[in-house]
Amino acid sequence: MIVPLSQPDITQLEIDAVLSVLNGTQLSLGPKMEEFEQRVATYIGVPYAIAVSSGTAGLHLSLLSLGIGSGHEVIVPSFTFIAAANAVRHAGAAPVFIDIDRGTLNLDPALIEAAIMPRTRAIMAVHTFGYPAAMSEILCIARKHGLRVIEDACEAIGAECEGQKVGSFGDAAVFGFYPNKQITTGEGGIVVTRDGGLARTVKALRNQGRYPSDQWHQHSVLGYNYRLSEMNCALGCAQMMRIDEILAKREQAASLYDDALKAIPGVELPTRLAGNDKISWFVYVIRLLENSDRRDAIVAALQERGIQCGRYFAPIHQQPAYAGWDMRHPLPVTERESRRTIALPFFSNISREQIDCVADALGSVLQP
């Protein structure tokens, strides 16, 4: 049996929604974009949402709209998708990497203050794998030092920190909707915020620097083509109508994995959260207890058996694009944990049979 790493959850509702746009006359900057933005804003609990072409674009525009650019520094984790640090560099600023908490694999708040320097302007709090970052502690530090907070929630729609939806804490937050995410628009992202001025700037920057009050072909600021089409937004509207169902299916899949893998020696299951914190299951990532030097060989062996899996995440500071980067702070947890993580096949409609197949293959590969 071949088990894919990820798979979007698309029903006839989504197909009909996209077809309805194609049967119309407006394919960009239309009513479906406005509907999608409103649905996401309402779900997160903030007044403003601005749809953009990708999560990466959303991070880029959030940084620019907060006035972060050349000569500035932004604190980010290295254990995350490379887009987080790339967006900082695209804005002209420099990412400063600090280490992570071993349990959640998010930024370790205890290490933030030591990384704050005169040029520090913001903290990028990534909700890695759908685990909420420690937002109360991060916000307390940010306020103390006059820093902005951007939530990279691209993997975390529906996650909650102390009973509050992630994305509603920072100056701005970004969700991503690539096909492997909890919900998808095919390609796309969205910026959410409580700041009306920031929302207005992001809206202008995504559309070639044109404010809604500008005349056609009047461009007030240097902008970008970061628009999201009506087809993408129609797909997103349909997915948002089903988001509770989709997240519940992913929670059930994670529980099935826990049951299937708990008896396999040498495997550490994903951390479970207590209290009012809530995971939004983006991926199901196990960690090897020992022999992490065998991780890549184990991944290859699983793939040979038809089990698609991956290294989530290879640290950013170890990527060729960051060779020679100024590393001010040691990252022992990042480097240790990244060597022993394996993302197993995970998606909304994964079956018990597929999960059992993955568990059988993993148990076989891990045998001495």
Active site members: 181
The terminus-to-terminus CA distance of the chain in angstroms comes to 24
Q: How many Å apart are CA 177 and CA 57, to the nearest integer? A: 12
Give yes or no for a contact between 63 and 122, defined as CB atoms under 8 angstroms apart.
yes
Give yes or no for a contact between 57 and 224, defined as CB atoms under 8 angstroms apart.
yes
- Indicate left, alpha or beta for 242 from its phi (over 0: left) and psi (-120 to 50: alpha): alpha
What is the DSSP-derived secondary structure letter of residue 270? P
Give Cα 353 to chain centroid, integer Å: 28
Give yes or no for a contact between 96 and 328, defined as CB atoms under 8 angstroms apart.
yes
Q: What SS3 class is residue 205?
A: helix
Q: Which residues contact 257 (CB under 8 A, 6 or more apart)?
A: 269, 284, 344, 346, 355, 358, 359
Burial (0-12, 13-18, 19+ Cβ within 10 Å), 333: middle
Q: How many Å apart are CA 304 and CA 332, to the nearest integer? A: 31
Residue type, 69: G
CB count in 10 Å sphere of residue 263: 9
How big is the CA angle at 359 (ends 5 and 316), to the nearest 5 degrees?
45
The residue behind tokens 């239309």 is 30
Q: Find, among 103, 91, 204, the residue nearest to 150 by Cα.
A: 91
* Strand segments (E) across the chain: 48-52, 73-77, 94-98, 120-126, 148-152, 160-161, 164-165, 172-176, 189-193, 267-268, 284-288, 341-344
Query: 97 pairs with which residues across the strands?
Result: 76
Give yes or no for a contact between 72 and 119, defined as CB atoms under 8 angstroms apart.
yes
